A and B are shown apart, each in its own frame.
Chain A
Amino acid sequence: MKTFDEQIEDVLRQKSEWPGSADFLWENISGQIEMKPEKQSFRRRSFWMGAGAVATIFLAFMLYTMLNTPVLPPVVPEEPQLARMQMFSAIMLTEPEVYLPGEQVELILTSHPVDNWNEGQDLSLTIWKDVEAEQSMVSRSTLPHELIRGQDSAFVQSPMDPGLYRLVVEGSFMDGDQRISVFGEKTIRVEGERFDETSEKD
Chain B
Amino acid sequence: MDITERELIKQAKEGKQDALEQIFRNHIDSAIRLAYLICRNWATAEDAVQEAFLQAFRSLDSFQDDRPFKPWFTKIVVNKAKRTKDRLDRGHVPYENEEPNPHRAYAPEEHALEQEGINALFQAINELDEKHRLPLLLKYVSGLTEAQIAETLSMPASRVKSRLYVARQRLKKYIAILEGGGQNEDI
Task: Write the residues of chain A forming the contact surface with B, with a CB cutoff of 8 angstroms.
Answer: 1, 4-5, 7-20, 22, 25-26, 28-30, 32-37, 104, 106, 144, 146-147, 150-153, 155, 197-199, 201-202
Contacts and interface: CB of A to CB of B under 8 A. Distances in A.
A5 to B, nearest CB: 8
Contacts of B104: 17
Contacts of A5: 140
A35 B86 CA distance: 32
Contacts of A201: 47
Interface residues of B, number: 57
A1 B141 CA distance: 21
Contacts, number: 125
Contact of A150 (B47, B49, B59, B153): B153
Interface in B9-54: 14-15, 17, 20-21, 24-25, 28-29, 32-33, 36-37, 42-44, 46-51, 53-54
Interface in B51-73: 51, 53-55, 57-59
Given A18-B32, A22-B25, A25-B46, A12 B51 contact: no
A4 B121 CA distance: 10
Contacts of B44: 199, 202
B93 A202 contact: yes
B77 interface: no
Given A26-B24, A35-B15, A151-B154, A198 B121 contact: no
Contacts of B51: 104, 197-199
B24 A36 contact: no
Contacts of A146: 82, 86
Given A33-B54, A202-B93, A20 B46 contact: yes
Contacts of B86: 144, 146-147
Contacts of B101: 17, 19
B171 A12 contact: no
19 contacts: A4-B172, A12-B137, A13-B33, A14-B118, A16-B33, A26-B25, A30-B20, A33-B17, A33-B54, A35-B15, A106-B55, A106-B59, A146-B82, A150-B155, A199-B44, A199-B47, A199-B84, A199-B87, A202-B47
A150 B47 CA distance: 23
Q: Which of A4, A12, A30 has the most CB of B within 10 A?
A: A12
Contacts of B58: 33-34
B186 interface: yes
B50 A198 contact: yes
Q: Which of A10, A18, A104, A144 has the most CB of B within 10 A?
A: A18
A138 B47 CA distance: 29
B83 A33 contact: no
A9 B125 CA distance: 11
A164 B12 CA distance: 29
A8 B125 contact: yes
B8 to A, nearest CB: 15
A4 B154 contact: no
B24 A11 contact: no
B177 interface: no
Nearest to B61: A36
